[in-house]
Structures are given as structure tokens and as C-alpha cells.
Amino acid sequence: MSKRPIRILGLAPEAWPRLLMPLMMGMLLLGAWEFAVRHFGVPPYVLPGPLSIGDALVTNWPSLAAALMVTLRITVLALLVAVTAGVVLAVLFSQSKWVEMTFLPYAVILQVTPIVAIAPLIIIWVDNVQAALLICAWIVAFFPIVSNTTIGLNSTDRNLVDLFRLYGATRWQTLVHLRLPAAMPFFLAGLRISGGLALIGAIVAEFVAGAGGASSGLAYRILEAGYQLQIPRMFAALALISLAGVVIFLALSLLSHLILRRWHESALSPDR
Amino acid sequence: MPHPPLTETQGPGPAGTMPPAGGAVVSLRDVTKRYPNGTLAVEGLDLDIAAGSFVSLLGPSGCGKSTVLRMMAGLAPLTAGHIAWPQAAPRLGFVFQEPTLMPWQTALDNVALPLKLSGMARAGRHRRAREMLALVGLAEAAGRYPRELSGGMKMRVSIARALATEPDLLLLDEPFAALDEITRFRLNNDLLRLWEAHRFSAVFVTHSVFESVYLSQRVVVMAAGPGRLFADLPIEAPAARDEAFRTSPHYAALCRTVSEALAGGMAA
Ligand SMILES: Nc1ncnc2c1ncn2[C@@H]1O[C@H](COP(=O)(O)OP(=O)(O)OP(=O)(O)O)[C@@H](O)[C@H]1O
Ligand SMILES: [Mg+2]
């Protein structure tokens, strides 16, 4: 505890390869890609090289950045609603077997129905496009949170539950001071999955909606660039989506690490 | 902390609520437990725990020791018989075989848990929890999380938590079974010291004949199939339980007596 571990730029030395190896691999692949495109003279409307994609990213930055913000807004909102609804539902499930028996199948149905198949319906039913997109993103993001949190709430150490009973804890005290904290690692694992899924849900719904105009997201930029055969711009939008997904995952991993680092085994070693 | 004389009689407890001298803190009458799956875990058990006494419950695995303890703690319903508490609203403490700490809370907050659940304000319960940690020799570790403590330290925290409410009856279910022998000896001595200072009543479940004789004033031997009382042996031993006692011929003789009773119970 007393001796401070060695750190390079805030990271433990053994954590650096985790960062450097994938980065080097990425550089290598990008280099090979650029080389291949040039060497074989692949036309940019079939496969643009990374440099021309970068160029398209810079030139179209204002419109792409605006689209990114639109997509991220939907994603984050959907994730917030999924967290709230998911945790509330999981708590209800954990309080009553009857509630769980009644509602769990519907949560499962919602989960296994492909979002592409129901997105058109939702977009028809809901007048407001933004709200329709939000609902689609929410549907895919919601299940991992419900199911993980439910498992977490139900797998509380039995002896601790007994201890709370012995000291006359109310249902509410047991929930707040025992079940919810015990479910935290499970919830956070679900949240990391849901973060990526919310983004996918938002993108898929945007594709289906195909909504243009000022409030259009990255998916629409991809469609638009496709129609106009501006393939580098299409790739630039695609790259932004992937980047957004990675950033969401890293942010949620960091959150998870910060919350769990003092007590949970999963946070012992540097997290992915 | 004043050390009262080592007898079963007992003056007023911490809250002045102890039953009269020599009274029982709890009485089990004809207690029977059948689990829903049909297992008859305990049948027709009569047992009185004298206030302020340290009683060990000894018996082969599966003879129903944990079941008896859980019934006393109100954690398992009885199938038949009844448990009488002469004193209204007795306070209980429970120490499990595992430390059973909340990994997301510091040692201090773990010890303060029973007080928090009873609605005590933060400052008060932390002060009390600090005292309890000091009592088990862990004053320094208050801010540490369970992961940062050794097995023996975790068990001390667990004991400190059980003592935080000044229990009238402390129930311990093989608390030291998972520890190495050196730590176990040390914790035995600590527990004795705490008991001598505070004179709570204790029911201590163990598999170890040596531990039961070293700690108790009375060893209750149970037999299995179904769980029942087989022998009830007073341990007539000096007030000072220490290394001298542990190595004395008297201790060896007591251990032999208890071992024989245990063997008899297993043969029965
Ligand atoms: N929840 C339960 N449901 C069904 N049977 C149980 C349950 N708990 C215990 N039993 C059974 O009751 C009997 C007594 O169990 P108990 O745990 O009280 O024994 P024990 O003396 O504490 O054993 P050990 O020394 O191994 O801890 C055993 O046969 C056990 O299988
Ligand atoms: Mg047991």
C-alpha cells in the first residue's frame, strides 16, 4: 500500500504493450492498405486508401461532426433510458418472482426480435423521427442491463442476506445497502455491452428511417455519400462510427474500473 | 475494561438488561427441524444456554449444528418445539464460517453495518466501530477494504461487527475453520479475552475437540441422524486459559473425555 507502483504516463509498465501492440498492428495494416491501393491502382470509388479517407474526413468535418453529435446524442439518451428502465425492471424482478415470471418473456422477445425488422414499424408508428430512433436504440440496449442486473441482484451472498435479516433490515435497506451494491459488477458488465448496442441500434434505425435534413446522423451521411458515389466520405463516416463505438466502450470500461477498483476482482488487473 | 470474576453468575450487562444470575439467555425445548426436502436435521433437542456462559457445540459433519444456530438466530423456522428467550428483545451477534464482509465497504463500514441498520447516525456508529476494531487489534485497518485484509484479519472484522451491537448472545458457526493453526490459536485467545471482558453468552460451533475444550465452560456433543444431544460435559478448568493450560495434563484429560463422547456419539 505504502510503496507507489512504477508508472509511465499514468500507466503501469505492463499495461503499455496492451496499448502499443494493437496500435502498431493498426499502423501496419493501414500502411499495407495504402500501399495495396496505390500499387494495384484500385479506383477510389471501389476502395479508397486511408490517406484519401483522412482527407475526406478533414474536408467534410463540419457536416460529419454535426452528424456524429446527432448519433451520439441518440445513443447516449437511449443508454440512459435503458439504464433507468433496465435497473428498475431488474429490481422489480428481484423483489417478486411473479413479476419476473410475467415480464421476463417479453423482455426476451424484445431482445431476440431483430431491430431491422421492427425499426420500420416503429418509425411508422412514432411521428417524431428522433423519438423513433431513440426507441429503436433503447430496445437493443435495454436487455443486457436487465438480465445482468437481475442476475446480480439474485446472486447476493446468502450469508450476507441472512446477516441483514438477523439485524432486522427492511426490504428497502437490504436492497440499497446489499443487493444493489452486490449487483454492481454485473450491471457494469451489462452496461459495457449495452453501450455498443445502443450505438448499433441508433445507426440501424437511422438507416431505416433514412431521414435527411439538419438533424441527420452518421448513417444518413453514409447513405448520402453512397448515392453520390463519394466513397472516401462514406468510409470517413464509417470510421467515425467505429471510433465512437470504441470510445463508448473505453469510457464505460473506465467508469467500471473506477467504481470497482477498490473491491472487485475483475478490476484487479488493468482492464481492457 | 474491568474483568469480572470467571463464574456463571453475572451482574447487569452493558444495558443493565441481563437476566438474573444463573438464568438462561435462551432455552430450546423439544426443537425439531425438518427441511422442505424431507431431511430431518434436528429432532427433540433440549438445550439451555446460561447467561454469560461460553458453550461449544461439537459434533460430526451434518449433525445439525448450523441448523441449531440458524434456528436460534431466527434464520430458519422450527418444525416443532419452541425457543424461549427469558429476556425481551435479546440482541444477537452471528459469526459465519466465512468472514461474510461486504467487499464494497471498508472494514470500518462493515463493522458499523448493524448500527447503520438500526438507524444510528453516521458519527456515532463510526465511533463505535472504531472502538470495536481497536478491540480486535485492527485500529489501523479501518479504512481498508476486505480484499486488502488477510483471512485472519477479515475474521477479526467479522467478530468486531458481531460485537458492535453489544450482543446478549453471540453465535459462532465454525468461525476459525478456514484459518491456519497459528492464526486460529491467536484468534482463540483474542476471543477468550473479549469474552472475559464483556461476558456475552456464546454458542460456539466447532469440529475441533481441542478448540472446544480450550474455549468453553461447557461442551455439548451432538450425534447425527437425526441431529440430537448426545452428551453435555462441563469443562472444569482454571480461570486463566492460556498456553500453560493448553499444555497441562488436565487439558489433555479433558480433551480425551470430550473425544470419547464424540466417538460415542458417532457410533450411536
Ligand atoms: N437448506 C437445507 N435444505 C435441506 N437440507 C439441509 C439444508 N441445510 C442443511 N440440511 C441438511 O440438514 C442436516 C444438518 O445440516 P447442518 O448444516 O446443520 O449440519 P452441520 O452440523 O452444521 O454440518 P457441518 O459440520 O458440516 O457444517 C444435513 O443432513 C444437511 O444435509
Ligand atoms: Mg455447519
**Do B73 and A1 make contact, defined as CB atoms within 8 angstroms?**
no
- B76 shares its domain with B175: yes
In this predicted structure, the answer to whether residue B11 has a pLDDT above a threshold of 50 is no
Asked if B198 and B181 sit in the same domain, the reply is yes
Residue B6 lies in a domain: no
Tell me the residues of A at the B interface, defined by beta carbons under 8 Å apart: 1, 157, 159-160, 162-169, 173, 177-178, 181-182, 184, 262-265
Question: pLDDT grade, residue B222 (50/70/90)?
Answer: very high
pLDDT of residue B258: 92
Provide the 10 A C-beta neighbour count for residue A105.
10
For residue A223, being part of any structural domain is answered with yes
Buried b (16+ CB within 10 A) or exposed e, A32-50: ebbeebeeeeeebeebbbb
C-alpha cell read off for B195 = 469474552
Q: How many structural domains is chain B composed of?
A: 2
- A152 beta partners: none
Q: What angle do CA A149, A150, A151 make, to 5 degrees?
A: 90
Q: How many domains does chain A have?
A: 1
Which residue stretches of chain A have pLDDT < 50? 1-2, 269-272
- Domain containing B86 — which CATH number? 3.40.50.300
Does residue B5 have a pLDDT over 60? Answer: no
Residue of the CA atom closest to atom 7 of ligand 1: B35
Do B121 and B236 lie in one domain? The reply is no
Query: Is A270 within the bounds of a domain?
Result: no
- B141 with B162, same domain? yes
Ligand 1 pocket test: pick from B33, B34, B39, B56 the residue with the most ligand atoms within 8 Å of its Cβ. B39
Asked whether residue A124 is assigned to any structural domain, the reply reads yes
Average pLDDT value for residue range B227-248: 86
B148 chain-A contacts, CB cut-off 8 A? 1
CA distances from B67 to B99, B172, B209 (A): 19, 12, 20
User: Is the residue at B17 inside a domain?
Assistant: no
**In a domain? residue B222:** yes
Q: What is the pTM of this model?
A: 0.83
Q: How far is CA A194 from the centre of its chain?
A: 5
Instruction: Give the pLDDT confidence of B20-44 residue by residue, as tens digits.
Output: 445 899 999 999 999 999 999 999 9
Domain that holds residue A249: 49-262
Interface contact B253, partner A, CB < 8 A = no
Mean pLDDT for chain B?
A: 88
| pLDDT value of position A5 | 67
User: Does residue A27 fall inside a structural domain?
Assistant: no
Does a structural domain hold residue B186? yes
The residue out of B167, B202, B220 marking a domain boundary is B167
Q: How many angstroms separate the alpha carbon of residue B41 from the centre of ligand 1?
A: 6
Please identify, by atom number, the ligand 1 atom nearest to the C-alpha of residue B65.
21
The CB density around residue B213, as the number of other CB atoms within 10 Å, is 27
Nearest of B214, B208, B206, B258 to residue B237 by alpha carbon: B214
Q: Please indicate, yes or no, whether residues B84 and B185 belong to a single structural domain of this protein.
A: yes
- pLDDT tens figures, A183-221: 999 999 999 999 999 999 999 988 888 766 656 889 999
Q: Are B117 and A160 in contact (CB under 8 A)?
A: no
Tell whether B111 and B218 lie within a shared domain: no
Closest ligand by atom to B207 CA: 1
Chain B residue numbers with beta carbons less than 8 Å from the beta carbon of A159 are: 96, 98, 100
C-alpha cell at B159: 467478530
Would you say residue B9 has pLDDT above 50? no
pLDDT per residue as tens digits for the range B70-114: 999 999 999 999 999 998 888 999 999 999 999 999 999 999 999
The number of C-beta contacts closer than 8 angstroms across A and B is 53
* Whether residue B31 is found in the same domain as residue B137: no
**Domain hosting residue B65, numbered range:** 25-90+169-267
Q: Is B46 helix (H, G, I), strand (E, B) or coil?
A: strand
pLDDT of residue A100: 86
Whether residue B37 is found in the same domain as residue B160: no
Residues B182 and B225 both lie in one domain = yes
Q: What is the CATH number of the domain that holds A106?
A: 1.10.3720.10
Residue at which a domain ends, from B152, B167, B182: B167
In a domain, B62, yes or no: yes
Is there a domain that residue A109 lies in?
Answer: yes
Mutation target among A174, A262, A266 for the B interface, most CBs of B within 10 A: A262
